[in-house]
Homo-oligomer: A and B are copies of this chain.
Amino acid sequence: MRIGELARRAGVSTRALRYYEQQGLLAARRTSNGYREYDESDVKVVAEIRSLITVGFTLEDARPFVECLRAGNDAGNACPESVEVYRRKLAEIDEQIRTLFGRRAEVAAQLAEACPGCALRTGGTT
């Protein structure tokens, strides 16, 4: 299939697909007229990328998963490198959550100080 069909099937823009290729995450054969040609495995690759992106992974984070798929695995997370990214991401997320809780506490404290009683209407942590 060509880029337009892959884009429709994967639910992304053609621009995104060319960008993935530029980043080395997607490879395409070329037909005689220069058009990119994709197959079913590419649909899987793009789906993997999108599903990782939606949980907050960067394209760099997705790279090991893509390489794992390319290596012939059924799932992109079947390789130790992918599992390692999962772990790193979990740690990052935990750190972000801690940071946000800290900020929340500070802002709530400031709000309480600036406007005693306001916090009651915020629907806070109760």
Q: Chain A contact residues: over half helix, strand or loop, or mixed?
A: helix
Asked whether any CB of chain B lies closer than 8 Å to the CB of A71, the reply is no
Interface assignment of A86: CB less than 8 Å from any CB of chain B: yes
For A111, what are the chain B residues with a Cβ–Cβ distance below 8 Å?
83, 86-87, 90
Residues of B contacting A107 with CB < 8 Å?
55, 86, 89-90, 93
Chain B residues with CB below 8 A from A23, complex form:
none
Name A56's closest neighbour in chain B (CB-CB): B103
Cβ–Cβ < 8 Å partners of A97 in chain B: 97, 100-101, 104
**A114-B55 in contact (CB<8A):** no
Given contacts A77-B114, A83-B111, A83-B114, contact A55 B103 (CB under 8 A): yes
**Complex CA distance for A86 and B124, rounded to whole angstroms:** 13
- CB contacts (< 8 Å) of A96 on chain B: these are 100
CB-CB under 8 A for A122 and B55, given A78-B114, A93-B104: no
Residues of B within 8 A of A108 (CB): 90
Choice from B82, B89, B90, B114 contacting A86 with Cβ under 8 Å: B114
CB distance from A50 to the nearest CB of B (A): 13
**Contacts A/B (CB < 8 Å), 6 sampled:** A56-B103, A77-B114, A83-B114, A87-B111, A90-B108, A97-B100
